[in-house]
Structure 1
Amino acid sequence: MSTRPVGTATRGTTNPNRLRRMDRWIAAAHGRALRASGRPLAVDLGYGAAPWTTLELARRLRAEADPRCEVVGIEIDPERVAAAKPYEEAGLSFRHGGFEVPVDVPPTLIRAANVLRQYEEGEVAAVWARLCGRLAPDGLLVEGTCDEIGRRHVWVALGPEGPRTVTFAARLGSLDRPSDLAERLPKALIHRNVPGEPVHAFLRDFDRAWAAASPYASLGARQRWIAAVGALGADWPLRDDRRRWRQGEITVAWEALAPGGGG
């Protein structure tokens, strides 16, 4: 007997290279776990109306993390699955499903990009718990949001135990100030960007550090970003280093930004 997939269909908006920043972070941050897995399996959950981002995830993980990586695209809309089937190849497939994640082995990675924006904030914790419960012991869930052409991203990385970090990533030339990224906060945080909440204080401090780093602007947005992030690290628990900052990224411990200041 078939089981109805859990969840609701997204708008399906997708564009080639939209998730490149997230993919490259995943390969850098999680590549070791993929390589250590006996069967590295990555799930692209809710890939949308076209399979481009799933194809790109497979290509990038195989090139930058582990050439053995198997990728499964999962969509709750059966018509989208049917449209993606012609793109299947060895180690790349598409399946009908939702948050139940219908795969044969626990995945080493679940990527859920632009999936939870349509849900209520109060529903996020249960979805996270369900997805984390499907992960392999060394698995990672990456859930977040980006704009339509992939210039601005914010995502949360979660292990089987729950949320670990929040990463902000951008094409730096698209920013007037770091708080421009607030519009791409994932559902767990976007309504918390108000005075008294940790994520609001973080973005406020980031803007102040960016303003203080204005003398570096003559050297380019990248140097200004690196200087601002370095200063921010004096007060906030950063979980990455200059190599990632150069990519227009900053990763912060989840507990520092969690709603209400709790983990």
Structure 2
Amino acid sequence: MTTRAASRPVGTVTRGTTNPNRLRRMDRWIAAVHGAELRRSTDPVAVDLGYGAAPWTAVELLARLRTTAPRTRVVGVEIEPARVAAARPYEREGLTFRHGGFEVPVPGSPTLIRAANVLRQYDEEQVAEVWRRLCARLAPAGPAGRGGLLVEGTCDEIGRRHVWVALGPEGPRTVTFATRLGSLDRPSDLAERLPKALIHRNVPGEPVHAFLRDFDRAWAAAAPYASYGARQRWIRTVRDLKADWPVTDGVTRWRQGEVTVRWEALAPGTAQESCSARF
């Protein structure tokens, strides 16, 4: 009984809904900011954790990462055995599928774990423990780099709006907001895609609520730039936002409809204390 229980995957089955190209914004960001770490690794393994009922996101992750790190291998991990069986025909050189959960059943220490739309069904108080477990599986930091990366977040059904947290072996680092600018009315529209650690904290008195409030105000002030297009308005907005918030990226990423902020600036007090204690 003990052996059988110990081998059981950690986690619960998700809804499994997915669509081709749904995670393109997250993939594009990962390739840009983590490509060098993947290239440096002697065995660059990326895990698509909880890829869902169809294997599209794992197939696409391999293609996108190999444009920047050609030796990268992708392992799709799913807790539902039938989904793994359905994905097996899509295996190829550099792409495999395995049955598992938050224990991440791959040899060694992955250079990347991507967990998109996985934690939405969990309770907020469970997030820190899942993060801790996944970060413990990452490749450790070395003299030449920062180690592996966990990217955990949520997007809409067709990938127009996406928010994710990036974590290293030491814990949370940044929060990234990404959107198709032509579909955006105001930045706070992204609030519905906040990851589980933040979505219930978008209330007055919480840092993420203050950030989105200031984001909307900067967007409104940049309205004259709309005549040059939504991209120019977004860039101006983020420039103004950077005066009061620790934005970590620059114009190259802003042009993609992204902005990245240090985790500490948005973390709720309880989550910050919990993460600090666990990592």
TM-score by length of 1: 0.98
Query: Partner letter of residue 85 of structure 2?
Result: A
Unaligned runs of 5+ in 1: none
Query: Partner letter of residue 43 of structure 2?
Result: R
Query: Where in structure 2 are the equivalents of 1:1-263 lying within 5 Å?
Result: 3-63=7-67, 65-137=68-140, 138-260=147-269, 262=272
Query: Partner letter of residue 8 of structure 1?
Result: T
Q: Secondary structure in 2 aligned to 1:117?
A: helix
Q: Secondary structure in 2 aligned to 1:243?
A: helix
Deviations 1:48-67 (A, max 9, x none): 0000000000000001x211
Query: Partner letter of residue 18 of structure 2?
Result: T
TM-score by length of 2: 0.93
Separation (CA, whole Å) in 1 of partners of 2:94 and 2:260: 31
Task: Give 1:257 shift.
Answer: 0.2
Query: Partner letter of residue 10 of structure 1?
Result: T
Task: Give 1:192 shift.
Answer: 0.2
Aligned length: 262
Q: Secondary structure in 1 aligned to 2:120?
A: coil
Task: Give 1:7 shift.
Answer: 0.1
Unaligned runs of 5+ in 2: 141-146
Counterpart in 1 of 2:143? none
Task: Give 1:260 shift.
Answer: 2.5
Query: Partner letter of residue 60 of structure 1?
Result: R
Runs in 1 of length 4+ with deviation above 6 angstroms?
none
Q: Secondary structure in 1 aligned to 2:215?
A: helix
Separation (CA, whole Å) in 2 of partners of 1:106 and 1:80: 24
Task: Give 1:105 shift.
Answer: 1.3
Separation (CA, whole Å) in 1 of partners of 2:77 and 2:123: 22
Task: Give 1:165 shift.
Answer: 0.0
Query: Partner letter of residue 191 of structure 1?
Result: H
Alignment RMSD (CA, Å): 0.9
Query: Partner letter of residue 223 of structure 2?
Result: S
Separation (CA, whole Å) in 1 of partners of 2:181 and 2:13: 32
Separation (CA, whole Å) in 2 of partners of 1:37 and 1:148: 33
Task: Give 1:13 shift.
Answer: 0.4
Separation (CA, whole Å) in 1 of partners of 2:123 and 2:96: 30
Separation (CA, whole Å) in 2 of partners of 1:213 and 1:110: 36
| Percentage of matched positions with identical amino acids | 79
Separation (CA, whole Å) in 2 of partners of 1:155 and 1:4: 28
